[in-house]
Amino acid sequence: MQFNDFKRLNHKSKLMQPKCLNCGDPFIGRIDKKFCCDRCRNTYNNRIKRNHEKNILDINRILRKNRKILKQFNPEGETTIHKESLDKMGFNYKYHTHAYSSSANNEYLFCYEYGYLIIANEKVLIINHQSNMGK
């Protein structure tokens, strides 16, 4: 290979030099390399993951808040309160972790180990998960 050939090849490689997906800086490395350094790779992947999982994080935050409210009102294992009390605390009835149908065909909705059943007269029965309820 002559010097002029090397010069042309070197000029082409500068034109085709990849740019970091995170910061946009050009870098030298393998042809399939996408990032200039580990920091940029981690920053990029964390940003993508954060955007995809925002909805999951929001729902988990609601579920934890619901659990905290149920736990606060149910220190002894079973209690009945007015639905208005849950409403005032910001309880979100749309989200729960699972449901349990009792032998009396009552459907208890659970936020982790704390369950509730809306009963007559705008009251709510709050219970703790029992071993006979299954998983």
Domain count of the fold of the chain: 1
Q: Does residue 91 lie in a domain region?
A: yes
Q: What residues make up the domain containing 42?
A: 37-133
Supply the mean pLDDT for the chain: 86
The token duo for 45 is 């992947």
Q: Does residue 126 lie in a domain region?
A: yes
> Is a pLDDT exceeding 60 seen at residue 110?
yes
The model's confidence at residue 103, banded by pLDDT at 50, 70 and 90, is: confident
Q: Is residue 11 classed exposed, middle or buried when 0-12, 13-18 and 19+ CB atoms within 10 A define those classes?
A: exposed
Q: Does residue 69 lie in a domain region?
A: yes
Q: What is the pLDDT of residues 57-92, one digit of tens each?
A: 899 999 999 999 999 999 888 999 999 999 999 999
